[in-house]
Each structure stands twice: as structure tokens, then as C-alpha cells.
Amino acid sequence: MEIGNAHQKTRTNLYWLLSGFATFVYLLIVSGLMTVPGVEPATKLFLLSFAALLLALPIVIGIWRFGDTDTPISAYPVGPIIGVVLMLQFALSLVQVFAQVLILMRRG
């Protein structure tokens, strides 16, 4: 087995594992924040920031060296779908973090 192929397989497996884990944690945090009343804005900010960082990992791994090699995010047919879902979750978590920062600033 070539080193490049082993590296590509490890990278692809890491992309899929982190994608599933990040999506699970994101959904767990968002559903927890929506169902539990009385969560402080600072706690929401911390949890949403953690989810955003966790979602950024598989995106970076998936698009690393996009033009040079076959990237996991471009593996047809499921790779682009998972990439779009991760990017949408990441964008939504950034919007939620920004909203929590505005709430904290308004409270003083």
C-alpha cells in the first residue's frame, strides 16, 4: 500500500467520523438550548461557539488541498451533500453566536 493511499484513506475516514460526530453534537446542543428554559446567554454563547468550532474541523479536513488531491468533500455522491449540510450548520451556528453576542452586549 502506498503512503499516499493510506493517507487519503485516513483522511476520508476522519472526515466521515468527524462529520457525523459534529452533526450529532450540534443537534444535541441546539435541541438542548431550545427545550431547556432559563439557559444563560453566556452559556449559550459558549456552547454554540464550541459547536461552531467542532463543525469547522470536518470542513477544513474535507477541503484541505482541494486542487491537489481527491478531497473527501468532493467524493461523489455523498461527499458534496455532507459538505453542504456541514456548511449550513456552521453558518447557522455563527449566526446564533452573533445573536448571543448582541444579547450579551444589550444586557450590559
Residue 40 falls in which region: left (phi positive, over 0), alpha (psi -120 to 50) or beta:
beta
Q: How many residues does the chain have?
A: 108
Contact 72, 15 (CB under 8 A): yes
H helices of the chain, in order, are: 3-35, 41-63, 78-107
The pLDDT confidence band at residue 1, using thresholds 50, 70 and 90, is very low
Rg (CA), the chain: 17
The pLDDT tens digits of the residues spanning 23-78 come to: 999 999 998 888 888 888 889 899 999 999 999 999 888 888 766 667 787 777 88
In degrees, rounded to 5, the angle at the alpha carbon of residue 49 between the alpha carbons of residues 20 and 78 is: 25
What's the whole-model pTM score? Answer: 0.82
